[in-house]
Chain A
Amino acid sequence: MAIDQTIPRLGCGRSIDEAWAAIKEPPTAHENGCVQCRTARASLANLAEATRRLRDNDAEDTSLQPHHVVKDAVMNLARAEVRRGNLLPVYRGDQGGIAMSEQAIISVIWFGADALPGVRARRCRVHPVPDIADGPRPAGTADISVNLRIAVASGTDIPGTAELLRQRIISVITAHVGLNAGTINITVEDFYDV
C-alpha cells in the first residue's frame, strides 16, 4: 500500500499538526485573524477534550475487561505447556538416580537472591558440569554451573554484592538441592530503579 506522507493542511497553509500542537497555547495573531485557524482550533480543542474523556472513561470502565474465562484459558494452556528446562542428574547410586528440573533449581537460586537487598535475580541457566568419574557417586558430589543475570539498585556496591550473592547461591543449592555449585557467573544487566 502506498502511504501518503502528506499532513493535512488548512486553507491558510498551516498544517493540522501545527494547529494541534498549539491548541493549549493562547491563539497567535495569525490564529486570531484567520477564520480557518479559528475553526480548526475550536474543533481540535473539542476533539482533545472528547479524547481525554474517552481515555479516562475507558481506563475506569469495569465493563471494558475481558471475561475471566480468557485468563483461565491462557493460564491453563501455560500450565499445560509449562517449561521445566533441562533435567539435571542430581544423584546416581546403584539402585538408580535422581534428576531435578532446571526450573526447580532456578527457583531455589532466585529464592537465595531475593533475600539480598538491592538485588533482583532475572534469567538463569544451570548446567551440569561434565562428570570426570565414570562410576557411581554419592549424593552431593555432582557439580553444576550457574549463569545468572541480575539487576541491582543504583548505588549498589557491585563487587561486594556479587560475592555475597555467590555465597548465598552456593549455600541454598547445597541445602536445598544437595549439589555443589561449581562456577557461578553473575551478569549485572540493569539498574532496576533508574
Chain B
Amino acid sequence: MDEREPVVLTRPEDLDEATVVARAQDGNLEAFEYLVEAYQGRLFRLAFRMLHDRGDAEDVVQDTLVACWRKLPLLKNVQAFSGWLYQMAINRCLDSLRRRSSQAEVVQESATLQATAGSSTGPGAGGDPAREAEISCEMDGLATALLSLPPEQRACWLLREIHERSYAEIAATLKVSEQTVRGRLARARAQLAEKMSQWQ
C-alpha cells in the first residue's frame, strides 16, 4: 500500500451505528451529520405527535440535536445512543407542553391536521377512494384522540406503538419503572379505544 495515499475514512453508511457514534464523539463531523440525517425524521415524528405543531416540533428536534453534539463526548455507552436521543427529545416535548399549559390548549380539529394532508394513501385501501377517505379519517381520529391523553401517557404510547421501543427502553427514557410504563400504556389504550369507538 502507498502509505501517503490521501486520508479517506470509511463512509458512515458502511459502518455499524455504534462506531459512527464513537467517531462523532471524537469530533468527526461527517459521522455526526450522518446521525443527524438518520434521526431527524424520527425525532420530528415523535415531537409532532407529542405537540401537534410543526414549528414547536422543529424546535425540539433542533434543540435535541444541538444538545446531542455538545453532550456526545459524555455518553458512556454508545449502544444507548438512540434511547439517550429519545430521552432528550421527550423531555423537551414535556417542557414545551408545560410552558403551553398556562394557556388553554386548543385541540385543533382533525381537518387542520397537516400531517396527513394529501399524502396519505391508506395502506391496503386498494385504490378505492371511499375506503381511502375512511382510512385517512380513522388515522386523523387516532391522531386527535392521542392529543387528549395526558402527556406522559402520550409519550409512553408513541414510544411503544409508533417507535416500537421496548418496555425497558421506555422506562429508561422516561425515568420510571417498567410497571409504570405498563400502567400508562394500558390506560392510554383503554382511553384511545373508547374514543375511537365513539366515532364508529
Contact = CB atoms under 8 A, between A and B. Distances in A.
Interface in B150-200: 161-162, 164, 176, 179-180, 182-183, 186-187, 189-190, 192-194, 196-197, 200
Given A50-B196, A61-B119, A82 B114 contact: no
B149 interface: no
Interface in B119-154: 119-120, 122-123, 135, 138-139, 141-143
Given A3-B183, A58-B162, A84-B27, A108 B18 contact: no
A140 to B, nearest CB: 14
A20 B161 CA distance: 13
Given A15-B186, A46-B196, A83-B27, A56 B123 contact: yes
Interface stretch (A30-38, A90-98, A154-162, A170-178): A170-178
Interface in A172-194: 172, 174-176, 190, 192-193
Interface string B102-118: 00000000000011110
A5 interface: yes
Contacts of A44: 189, 193
Contact of B37 (A3, A71, A78): A71
A106 interface: yes
Contacts of B116: 57, 61
A43 interface: yes
A107 B8 CA distance: 9
A5 B9 contact: no
Given A66-B61, A83-B73, A103-B26, A71 B36 contact: yes
B10 A54 contact: no
Contacts of B36: 71, 74-75
Nearest to B41: A65
Contacts of B29: 75, 78-79, 82
B115 A58 contact: yes
Nearest to A20: B189
Contacts of A137: none
Contacts of B25: 123
Contacts of B19: 120-122, 151, 192
A133 interface: no
The range of chain B's interface size is 35 or more
A74 B39 CA distance: 13
A171 to B, nearest CB: 6
B26 to A, nearest CB: 6
B27 A8 contact: no
A17 B187 CA distance: 9
A47 B22 contact: no
A193 B19 CA distance: 11
Interface in A67-113: 67, 70-71, 73-75, 77-79, 81-85, 103, 106-108, 110-111
Interface string B5-32: 0011110000110110011011111001
Given A70-B61, A123-B25, 16 more contacts: A5-B183, A7-B186, A42-B197, A50-B139, A57-B139, A61-B115, A63-B114, A65-B41, A66-B61, A73-B62, A74-B65, A78-B33, A106-B27, A107-B28, A110-B9, A174-B3
25 contacts: A7-B186, A7-B187, A17-B186, A54-B143, A56-B123, A57-B122, A63-B114, A64-B115, A66-B40, A71-B40, A74-B36, A74-B62, A74-B66, A75-B36, A78-B32, A82-B27, A85-B27, A103-B26, A107-B9, A107-B28, A110-B23, A111-B9, A114-B9, A122-B23, A175-B3
